[in-house]
Amino acid sequence: MAGPLFDLLPGVETASDADTLLGRFLEYVDAQGLTLYPSQEDAVLAVFEGHNVILNTPTGSGKSLAASALHFASLAAGRRSVYTCPIKALVNEKWMALCRELGAEHVGLATGDATVNRDAPVLCCTAEILANIALRDGENANVDDVVMDEFHWYADRDRGGAWQVPLLTLPQARFLLMSATLGDVTFFEDALTQRNHRPTVTVKSSDRPVPLEYAYSETALPEAVQALADADKVPVYVVHFTQKDAAESAQSFTSLKVASREAKNAVGAAIEGVRFSSPYGTRVRKWLRHGIGIHHAGLLPKYRMLVERLAQRGLLKVICGTDTLGVGINVPIRTVLFSRLCKFDGEKTAVLSARDFHQIAGRAGRKGFDDLGFVVAQAPVHAIENLKLQNKAKTGKKSVKRQPPRHNFANWDHQTFERLIAASPERLVSRFSVSHGMLLNVLSRPSDGCQAMRQLIRDSHEPVAAKAAHVRRGWQLFR
C-alpha cells in the first residue's frame, strides 16, 4: 500500500528544486498504480515549472491529479494553496481526499457551514469564501496558489462573480483553472499572464477514458428506464431540472423491475440501522428498497451522502436527481438519461446550452468498469404522446386530439439533440456585479477602499459601458 503524498516532502527544502519535486510526485503516482494520460503529464509539468495552467479535459480524465501536484509543490515551497469549487459537498469531499494525501494537520476547510484548521497551508473552500478573502485583503492575502475547479461557473448568472474576483485581486497568486467545458480560453490566457506575470499554459484534450454512445428515446420515461435496466445499462442517472420532478419520477419508478430480489436485499442490509426519522426520510427509504436513489441539493445531507455511498457500492440501479450531477459529485454512473433538454435559466425556459449538456452527459461511463458510457435524451412528453396517437391512427383506431406542448416549455427534437452532441461549449462570459458584501469587504481594507473599489471595477472583465454602470451602482450602495 502506497504511503501518503506528504511522506515524500521531507528533505526537499526549496521550491527551486523543481526536478526533485517532480520526481517525488511521479514516484507517488507510480506507487498508486497510475499511468498518466498525455494531458495529465503536460499539466503536471507546467505546474512544477511554476506556470498558470488552464486544464480543459473531459470528465474522468484525472484533472484532480494536477490539483494534487499543485498543492504538493506549494506545500514543499512553504507557500499556501487554496482549492475552490462551487458546492459544499464537493469541497468536503476534496478536503477529506487531501487530508489523506497531505496529512490532516496541513489541510483546512471553510464552507460557511463548517470551519476546520482554517489557517492551514492548504485550504479547501467554496468560491465565495476565497472571493471574500480576495476582496478584503487583495495582494496582501495569504494566498500563493489557487485551484479553481469547475471553472465554467465563471459564467453562472448568479454566482459567476466569485470566480472572477480572485483573478482580479490576487496578483501574487498562480492559478490552475479546471473544467471539462471551458470553450475558447484565449482571453483567460492573456488575462492571467497580464495580472501575475507568469506564463499561462492551456492543456486541452477531447479524449475520454470511456467513450460515449448517444440515443434518442421516443417512449415514455418509465418505459425508457425499464429498457435500460433490461439491457444492463445501469446504474442510470435520470436528470431532472426541479427537485419536485425528481421525486415524482422516483415514486413512479417503484412500479418497475429495475433491481433483482438479491439487489433489493443487499440495499436492505446496507441501510439497516440507518434512521429515516424525517417525514421525507420514509419516502427515501421506500425508494432505496426498490434500488432507486434520489439526489439533489434540497435533500438532507445524511440522505444525499447515503445515496452516494450506496451508488459507489453499485447497489442502486436508478438515481433520480437534478443537474447537480454536472458539478463533479462522486456518483458512478453508466447511463445519463435526460428527462428533458430544456430548463429555466433564471429568466426563461430555454434549450440547454452546449456547456450544460456536455457537463452533465460527460458523467456517463465508469472508468475501470465500463467500455462505453451511454447518454439518452427523452423526446418531449407531448411528442411521445402524439407519436402514440399516430400509431393508433395507423391501426384504424379512433382518432384522438393531438397533445399540445406543456407550459414553461422550449421545444426540442432529435435534431436538437444531435446539435448539442456536436456543439462545443460556449465562450465564458463575465458575470461581475457590485453588491453590498463586495463593497463592505473592499472598504474594510486599511488602505483607500474607495480607490480599491474603483480599480476593481476597472480591472473587471466587463465591457466599458457595463463598468460605468457598476461605478454608479457602487455609489448608490455606498450612499
Within-domain flag for 104: yes
Residue range 247-258, pLDDT digits in tens: 999 999 999 999
The reply to whether 218 and 167 lie within a common domain is no
The reply to whether 144 and 254 lie within a common domain is no
What is the rounded CA–CA span in Å between residue 65 and residue 176? 12
Residue range 410-459, pLDDT digits in tens: 899 999 999 999 999 999 999 999 999 999 999 999 888 889 999 999 99
Nearest to 242 by CA among 432, 428, 406: 406
The reply to whether 389 and 323 lie within a common domain is yes
The reply to whether 402 and 264 lie within a common domain is yes
pLDDT confidence band for 346 (50 / 70 / 90): confident
Within-domain flag for 430: no
**Cβ count near 369 (within 10 Å):** 11
- Using CA atoms, how far residue 327 sits from 125, 307, 331, 417, in Å, is 15, 16, 11, 21
Within-domain flag for 357: yes
Evaluate whether 323 touches 362 at the Cβ level (below 8 Å).
Answer: no
Q: Which residue, of 142, 177, 204, is where some domain finishes?
A: 204
The reply to whether 373 and 460 lie within a common domain is no
pLDDT of residue 375: 98
Cell numbers 478536503: residue: 95
Helix (H) or strand (E) segment spanning residue 53: strand 52-56
The reply to whether 148 and 93 lie within a common domain is yes
The reply to whether 362 and 289 lie within a common domain is yes
Q: How far is CA 169 from the centre of its chain?
A: 24
Domain holding 265, by residue range, is 212-422
CATH of residue 367 = 3.40.50.300
What is the rounded CA–CA span in Å between residue 141 and residue 169? 9
Within-domain flag for 427: no
The reply to whether 321 and 455 lie within a common domain is no
Query: Total structural domains in the chain?
Result: 3
Predicted TM-score (pTM) of the model is: 0.91
Residue range 167-214, pLDDT digits in tens: 999 999 999 999 999 999 999 999 999 999 999 999 999 999 899 999
The reply to whether 226 and 253 lie within a common domain is yes
Residue 239 has pLDDT above 90, yes or no: yes
pLDDT confidence band for 12 (50 / 70 / 90): very low
The reply to whether 244 and 315 lie within a common domain is yes
Give the chain's radius of gyration (CA, Å): 24
Torsion angle defined by CA atoms of residues 116, 122, 124 and 127, in that order, rounded to the nearest 10 degrees: 130
Residue range 347-392, pLDDT digits in tens: 889 999 999 999 999 999 988 888 999 999 999 999 999 888 887 7
Q: Which residue, of 204, 238, 261, is where some domain finishes?
A: 204
Within-domain flag for 431: no
Within-domain flag for 428: no
The reply to whether 66 and 112 lie within a common domain is yes
Evaluate whether 123 touches 147 at the Cβ level (below 8 Å).
Answer: no
Within-domain flag for 429: no
Q: Which residue, of 172, 188, 204, is where some domain finishes?
A: 204
Within-domain flag for 118: yes
The reply to whether 270 and 323 lie within a common domain is yes
